[in-house]
């Protein structure tokens, strides 16, 4: 049977696409199977940290978020990620994240991945004193300048 060039190209594209999807799916399944589930939060503060938070300001100006951008921080019982983006265009200014630990009110983040513009943060650790009061999360940097106030996103 003589196939047209268009039919041959479409068939090849389908096979390549299906193979790529199958390999991606198998990789994701394998990686997820290897993941150890996060330990459930052990203290009330640990439970209160879990969720989605929006940057609201600083301890000196708790309702003075940067204009034109939105910062969102997501936290599970073990992992965190932060994304900062332009409110009008939706373009991401930076994104990074990793794992965290909590010992009393001392919170430590380890940066494990990042967009290129913040790549020097990868493998760095940042410590904070933290507290949650209602829907307000405050972090005070220990040896770093990141003193911030966040509001829970509902």
Whether 3 and 61 map to the same domain: the answer is no
Mean pLDDT over the full length of the chain? 84
For residues 76 and 22, membership in a common domain is answered with no
Q: Does one domain contain both 27 and 61?
A: no
Same domain membership, residue 124 and residue 106: yes
Residue 1 has pLDDT above 60, yes or no: no
User: What confidence score (pLDDT) does residue 116 get?
Assistant: 96
Average pLDDT over residues 14-32: 45
Containing domain of residue 13, as a range? 1-35
Pair 89, 144 in one domain: yes
Dihedral-angle region of residue 96 (phi above 0 means left; psi in -120 to 50 means alpha; beta otherwise): beta
Q: Are residues 2 and 52 in the same domain?
A: no
Q: Report the domain count for the chain.
A: 2
Give me the mean pLDDT over the 147-151 stretch. 97
Decide if pLDDT at 39 tops 60.
no
pLDDT digits (tens, 9 = 90+) for 89-125: 999 999 999 999 999 999 999 999 999 999 999 999 9
85 and 16 inside one domain: no
Q: How far is CA 102 from CA 3, 13, 44, 105, 145, in A?
A: 63, 49, 11, 7, 19
Same domain, 67 and 138: yes
| Pair (17, 51) in one structural domain | no
pLDDT band at 20, cuts 50/70/90? very low
Q: Are residues 60 and 134 in the same domain?
A: yes
């Amino acid at each position: 049977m003589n196939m047209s060039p268009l039919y041959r190209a479409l068939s090849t594209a389908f096979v390549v696409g299906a193979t790529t999807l199958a390999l991606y799916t198998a990789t994701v399944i394998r990686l997820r199977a290897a993941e150890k589930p996060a330990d459930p939060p052990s203290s009330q503060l640990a439970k209160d940290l879990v969720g989605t938070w929006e940057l609201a300001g600083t301890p000196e100006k708790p309702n003075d978020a940067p204009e034109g951008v939105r910062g969102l921080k997501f936290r599970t019982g073990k992992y965190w990620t932060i994304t900062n983006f332009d409110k009008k265009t939706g373009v991401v200014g930076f994104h990074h994240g990793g794992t965290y630990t909590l010992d009393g009110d001392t919170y430590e983040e380890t940066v494990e991945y990042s967009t290129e513009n913040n790549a020097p943060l990868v493998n760095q650790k940042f410590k904070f004193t933290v507290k949650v009061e209602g829907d307000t999360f405050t972090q005070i940097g220990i040896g770093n300048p990141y003193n911030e106030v966040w509001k829970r996103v509902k």
